[in-house]
Chain A
Amino acid sequence: MSASTEFDDKAELKAHDLRHRAVLQQNIGTYTAKVAETKARFLNWEPGRQSARGRKWEAINHLDRYLEDFERNASERGTVVHWAVDGAQARALILDLCRKHQVRRVVKSKSMITEEIHLNDFLETHGILPVETDLGEYIVQLRCEHPYHIVTPAMHLTRDDVDQTFHEKLGTPRGSVPAELAGIARRVLRQKYLEADMGITGANFLVADTGMVVITENEGNARLCSSLPPLHVAIVGIEKVIPRLDDLALFLPILAVAGTGQQITCYNTMIGGPRGQGEPDGPVEFHVILLDNGRTELLADTEQREALHCIRCGACLNACPVFRNIGGHAYGTTYQGPIGSVITPHLRGLQEWQHLSSASSLCGACSDVCPVGIGLHHHLLRNRRNAARGGARTWREAVIFRLWAVVMQNEDLYRFLGHVLRTGQRLLRGAGLEGSFLDPAWRWSRGRSPPHMPAQTFREWWENRGKPENAASILRAKPEAERHNMPQQS
């Protein structure tokens, strides 16, 4: 099955799943209220995001220089910096390290880039056990699922779902409340940190001028993963670099506000090397893998280069009406929502992933909330254009547009078909068959309230507008939604 068909099927299923919708709305509702409150109280948001955009522009448009700065400064204090063109190289580097140090057990902190390169499956097939330590990630790992959301991996689950999962997988009694569930995970994971031979993390930023890797988190699991095991490996996309340490004074709050509505996340940790001289603990070796994996392709596209400014806060997912209806798993990508729809075609191929750019109302809510000012919905439109350059997607689409062109160029045909459609819809509605399988638009109308076409066409209205009996225009007599021919929200 193609990625596009799979997407259609999953989206269809989730869009009509009312329980899923309720969970999502509760979660995103809480998030939205908190973000609005923090934005209003804590900082001047607009200048903040403009400054952040400027600094990311500086970094991305001088990427070679800043990466070399990072590498030099990090290497000076004993960090081993590796480069990987793609996932296969990154995985091979990690496997080499694991073999060299006889690594059996790995603790991982939340990292989308390790999802991107399917690291967990790879490690398992080589007999190495990776344990996710972020609570949300741990839950989805126990359920053998992929993260649902780049920031909130278990957003789709209720406390009852988690309770059930822990009961099945860890043998805990049913009926635990969230605090108890977190306590259970804490006890299990504590042991894992102490036993682990290697800690693997991602990173939120790379600081060029001090050669540091910055990890943002709330739980402390990334700190533990980078403190206790004798080896620490951070896998980082090359676009994460920022010029100066002091830039964090802006980026840390901006990321927290957009990501969760916090002023700053609980732990922001800057790691500049393995255990230093005179320091009593910390890993003996610290490796950083700088991963390209298609990012340079995006860099080469000047029109869409700014998509590399993304700091993965997840705000565009939460704002997106499409995400809010279909949820994160339907996308079938590592990065969900608008940013995922923008970058996945660049990372994994335009023709196979361009359908995501069409799953958008182009409302621009994503661009409005982006903390680094990426014009996300413009990029969705550009993806559509680029994909259409190769011609129609399917023969069906080609036929439909050919027919459409014929109708649009023939006035009588247009008028006749308009009449047929209006009458047809009226009859269907009269017979109460709308949305039933006898409805030709069944696939669309079974789950939606269809917009109803007005009794009079614009042409008829125009011709009759001067007559006194029509002076009280139709426009004034009809309710708002119907006047604009909008579907009623159910």
Chain B
Amino acid sequence: MSHPETSHRLPSAATRAAILLRIRTALQYTTAKPQEPADPAVFPAIPPNDLLQRFATELAALKGELLQASTWAEAQAHLGRMAEESQFVRIVATPHPDIRQACGSVVARTLTGDHDCGPNLAQADLGITPCDCLVARTGSIVLTSRSGFGRSLSVLPPAHLVVARRSQLVADLSDAFRLLRSWHGAMWPSMMTIISGPSRTADIEKILVLGANGPRKLMVLLLNF
């Protein structure tokens, strides 16, 4: 190695300048630009009418659960049944009108501020959040530290429920990025994440195990109205 071990004594501005100088010196010699593909279509198009079907298929393949409701009563029934079956007692939710409506008689503690977050969420059974959009091609949920009310509510509790509108469904990741940019481009949230199924690992003999560090259960309650 050409770098002396004592180099860490350089001040940071000098380090920055040194690295940029090395880069610029190297780039004085150019390389040929590779050929662009003749047909750049990487992903086959999904017809607009198939979006919901595709999202449902992909989410199921990822072992996520999709619940659909056409009325508030249906949404509330879904949530009530789920809370009872899975014995969700300590439910924590983002303050959001759709979630408040969907919860109905299910008691969910609504987050109010930072004193509620972080380690305090470690005892929760279920976190409920809205999302920014849903991606049909990969069965993904896109949320941010704004829509998700911070970073930990959607990852720390062992189960995560996303309440979404059908109109939030888009075909591709590129559509999702376009939307995120139009909504947040002026002031980005500090974190955005694309969630595709419940937390998983295959680190032991390639055997799939759900709930590695994040939620074991991922559910999407889709409001079709």
| With A83-B19, A271-B190 as contacts: A44 and B44 at CB distance below 8 Å | yes
Cβ-based interface call for A186 (8 A): yes
Residue among B18, B172, B189 with the highest chain A CB neighbour number at 10 A: B189
B114 near A269 with CB under 8 A, answer no
- Contact residues of B between 1 and 56, Cβ < 8 Å to A: 1-3, 5-8, 10, 12, 15-16, 18-20, 22-27, 29-31, 33-44
Cβ-based interface call for A178 (8 A): yes
A266 near B205 with CB under 8 A, answer no
6 other A-B residue contacts (CB within 8 Å) besides A47-B42, A292-B22: A57-B31, A64-B24, A178-B204, A268-B194, A270-B191, A280-B150
B214 near A219 with CB under 8 A, answer yes
Rounded to whole angstroms, the CA-CA distance of A329 and B173 in the bound complex is: 37
B15 near A302 with CB under 8 A, answer no
B203 near A264 with CB under 8 A, answer no
Cβ-based interface call for B116 (8 A): yes
Rounded to whole angstroms, the CA-CA distance of A134 and B25 in the bound complex is: 38
Cβ-based interface call for A411 (8 A): no
Q: Can you identify 26 A-B contacts, CB atoms within 8 angstroms?
A: A44-B42, A50-B36, A51-B36, A51-B37, A57-B34, A64-B27, A135-B203, A139-B203, A159-B205, A179-B209, A186-B211, A189-B213, A210-B188, A219-B212, A221-B214, A224-B152, A228-B118, A252-B173, A266-B214, A267-B195, A272-B192, A275-B145, A280-B113, A280-B114, A281-B117, A281-B152
Cβ-based interface call for B156 (8 A): yes
Residue among B3, B149, B191, B215 with the highest chain A CB neighbour number at 10 A: B191
Q: How large is the interface on B (under 10, 10 to 19, 20 to 34, 35 or more residues)?
A: 35 or more
Nearest Cβ distance between residue A464 and chain B, in whole angstroms? 52
Cβ-based interface call for A336 (8 A): no
Tell me the nearest residue of chain A to B193, going by C-beta. A269
- Contact residues of A between 269 and 325, Cβ < 8 Å to B: 269-276, 278-282, 286, 290, 292, 294, 296-297, 299-300, 302, 305-306
B37 near A50 with CB under 8 A, answer yes
Q: Which of B80-88, B125-133, B174-182 contacts A (4 or more CB under 8 A)?
A: B174-182
| With A85-B3, A219-B199 as contacts: A275 and B23 at CB distance below 8 Å | no
- Contact residues of A between 192 and 237, Cβ < 8 Å to B: 194, 210, 212, 218-221, 223-224, 226-228
Give the 9 A-B CB pairs with smallest separation, nearest first.
A220-B214, A136-B203, A227-B151, A219-B212, A281-B117, A47-B37, A300-B26, A249-B174, A296-B22
Chain A residues positioned under 8 Å from B8 (CB to CB)? 84, 86, 88-89, 91-93
Residues of B bordering A, CB below 8 Å: 1-3, 5-8, 10, 12, 15-16, 18-20, 22-27, 29-31, 33-44, 58, 62, 111, 113-114, 116-119, 122, 137-138, 140, 145-146, 149-152, 155-156, 172-174, 176-178, 180-181, 188-207, 209, 211-215
Tell me the nearest residue of chain B to A222, going by C-beta. B213
Q: Main SS of chain B's interface residues?
A: loop
- Contact residues of A between 367 and 397, Cβ < 8 Å to B: 373
Rounded to whole angstroms, the CA-CA distance of A91 and B7 in the bound complex is: 12
Q: Which of A9-17, A150-158, A432-440, A453-461 contacts B (4 or more CB under 8 A)?
A: A150-158
| With A27-B206, A246-B174 as contacts: A86 and B199 at CB distance below 8 Å | no
- Contact residues of A between 469 and 483, Cβ < 8 Å to B: none
Chain B residues positioned under 8 Å from A248 (CB to CB)? 173, 177
Rounded to whole angstroms, the CA-CA distance of A260 and B214 in the bound complex is: 19
Rounded to whole angstroms, the CA-CA distance of A268 and B197 in the bound complex is: 12
Nearest Cβ distance between residue A48 and chain B, in whole angstroms? 4
Residues of A bordering B, CB below 8 Å: 23, 26-27, 30-31, 42-44, 46-48, 50-51, 53-54, 57-58, 61-64, 67-68, 77, 82-86, 88-89, 91-93, 133-136, 139, 152-154, 157-159, 162, 178-179, 181-183, 185-186, 189-190, 194, 210, 212, 218-221, 223-224, 226-228, 238, 245-246, 248-250, 252-253, 260, 263-276, 278-282, 286, 290, 292, 294, 296-297, 299-300, 302, 305-306, 348-349, 373
